[in-house]
């Protein structure tokens, strides 16, 4: 196992380096730069001279070529400096330190929610195929796959406001928005966060249920299952020890993509719900071509992707030792 872990660790470092180059290039592919976006937001009556534009480009270091800009960014990044956001005029680390903890506070419980709900339901639906509950779970799964999360969020906001007089959106109630941290504020955040977890985790739960059910149905039809059953092994012990352990491999392989997807793949949903996460921050950075902020967020997400893939690989090796070969 140790040689496998060492080999994968080296691959992780190389992958992160390549992704940093790609991320920085992709951010600058759209025509123009932050200065162009900034000038476009000015009112029509304001006149900006060419000297002022040139001064802005020099101030933000946009006169350098792409290679020089990347070298400066990656050098500062290795020293713990992610640069300054052009749009917010604050360091990127400060912005991420505000958003990332709240993002992880939503993401990690959402990931647990997705797997804790979908795996047992997928197992039950496969074992009790065509039962009434299987039809119910299949219907709910299809609805979860068909309805986008942001549309589900809009529906929840309308229903809660129209029929219950509540307010879905944000992580804090108005009285706790600017209040210092306390037990009451934490409890209020957990209450509001539960709705966000339900909305964000719906599509992932529905997809995982379908994958788990389909893979387990394939395994239950294999000859080794009938052989184990003929030898007198109890039904649930047989199912959990052999078919489930094989069928869960595709589910474990998705862990590497679940964490960054929950963080960055819900920009529209987080915007609709007014969540102070990195999703809307990344969306605004890309729209305004704030390259240091956008590239740093993508770089952090790429690290999470690589770490998640590494964890899923280790879990796959544990679930099926043949993978090491």
Task: Give the domain CATH number at 217.
Answer: 1.10.3720
Report yes or no on 66 lying in a domain: no
As a whole number, the mean pLDDT across the chain is: 80
Q: Which residues pair with 84 in a beta bridge?
A: 91
- pLDDT tens by residue, 274-315: 888 888 888 888 877 787 788 888 888 778 778 777 777 777
CA distance 172 to 189: 5
Q: How far is CA 240 from the centre of its chain?
A: 29
CA distance 107 to 277: 10
Q: Is 197 strand, coil or helix? A: helix
Report yes or no on 51 lying in a domain: no
Q: Per-residue confidence at 148, pLDDT binned at 50, 70, 90?
A: confident
Q: Is 66 strand, coil or helix? A: helix
Overall average pLDDT of the 141-158 stretch: 86
Token digits of residue 8: 């994968």
pLDDT recorded at residue 123: 92
pLDDT recorded at residue 262: 60
Q: What is the pTM of this model?
A: 0.75
Report yes or no on 89 lying in a domain: no
The DSSP letter of residue 84 is B
Q: Per-residue confidence at 184, pLDDT binned at 50, 70, 90?
A: confident
How many residues appear in the chain?
Answer: 325
pLDDT recorded at residue 52: 63
Q: Which residue has the tokens 């997928």?
A: 122
Report yes or no on 315 lying in a domain: yes
CA distance 241 to 244: 7
**R_g of the chain, CA atoms, integer Å:** 24
Report yes or no on 291 lying in a domain: no
User: Residue 53: which residues within 8 A CB-CB, separation 6 or more?
Assistant: 35, 39
Domain residue limits at 216 = 99-251+264-281+307-324
Q: Is the pLDDT of residue 56 over 70?
A: no
The DSSP letter of residue 174 is G
Token digits of residue 183: 């037990």
Report yes or no on 71 lying in a domain: no
Report yes or no on 74 lying in a domain: no
Top-confidence residue, 106 or 128 = 128
* Angle subtended at Cα 91 by Cα 89 and Cα 93, rounded to the nearest 5 degrees: 150
**285, 294 Cβ separation under 8 angstroms:** yes
Q: Is the pLDDT of residue 258 over 80?
A: no
Q: Is the pLDDT of residue 132 over 90?
A: yes
Q: Is the pLDDT of residue 165 over 70?
A: no
Q: Per-residue confidence at 36, pLDDT binned at 50, 70, 90?
A: low
CA distance 38 to 55: 13
Least confident of 21-30, 261-270, 284-293, 310-319: 261-270
Q: Is the pLDDT of residue 122 over 90?
A: yes
Full DSSP string of 307-320: HHHHHHHHHHHHH-
Report yes or no on 60 lying in a domain: no
Number of compact structural domains in the chain: 1
pLDDT recorded at residue 217: 92
Overall average pLDDT of the 52-75 stretch: 73
Q: Is 91 strand, coil or helix? A: strand
CB atoms within 10 A of CB 149: 21
Overall average pLDDT of the 57-70 stretch: 72
């Amino acid at each position: 196992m140790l040689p496998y872990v060492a080999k994968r660790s080296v691959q992780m470092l190389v992958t992160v380096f390549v992704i940093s180059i790609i991320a920085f290039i992709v951010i600058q592919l759209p025509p123009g730069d932050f200065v162009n976006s900034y000038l476009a937001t000015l009112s029509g009556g304001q006149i900006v001279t060419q000297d002022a534009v040139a001064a802005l480009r020099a101030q933000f270091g946009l006169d350098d070529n792409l290679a020089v800009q990347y070298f400066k960014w990656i050098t500062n990044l290795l020293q713990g400096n992610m640069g300054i956001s052009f749009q917010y005029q604050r360091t990127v680390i400060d912005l991420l330190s505000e958003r990332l903890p709240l993002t992880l506070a939503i993401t990690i419980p959402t990931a647990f929610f997705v797997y804790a709900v979908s795996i047992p339901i997928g197992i039950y639906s496969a074992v009790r195929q065509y039962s009434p509950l299987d039809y119910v779970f299949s219907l709910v799964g299809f609805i979860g796959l068909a309805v986008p999360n942001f549309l589900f969020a809009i529906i929840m906001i309308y229903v809660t406001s129209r029929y219950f007089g509540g307010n879905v959106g944000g992580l804090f109630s108005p009285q706790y928005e600017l209040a210092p941290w306390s037990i009451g504020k934490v409890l209020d955040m957990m209450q509001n966060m539960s709705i966000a977890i339900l909305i964000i985790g719906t599509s992932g739960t529905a997809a995982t249920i379908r994958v788990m059910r389909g893979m387990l149905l394939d395994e239950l039809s294999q000859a080794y299952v009938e052989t184990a059953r003929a030898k007198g092994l109890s039904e649930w012990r047989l199912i959990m020890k052999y078919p489930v352990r094989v069928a869960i491999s595709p589910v474990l392989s998705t862990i590497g993509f679940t964490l960054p997807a929950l963080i960055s793949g819900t920009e529209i949903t987080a915007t609709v719900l007014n969540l102070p996460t990195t999703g809307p921050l990344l969306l605004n950075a890309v729209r305004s071509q704030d390259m240091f902020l956008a590239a740093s967020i993508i770089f952090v997400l790429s690290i999470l992707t690589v770490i998640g893939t590494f964890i899923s690989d280790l879990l796959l090796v544990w679930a099926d030792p043949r993978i090491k070969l």
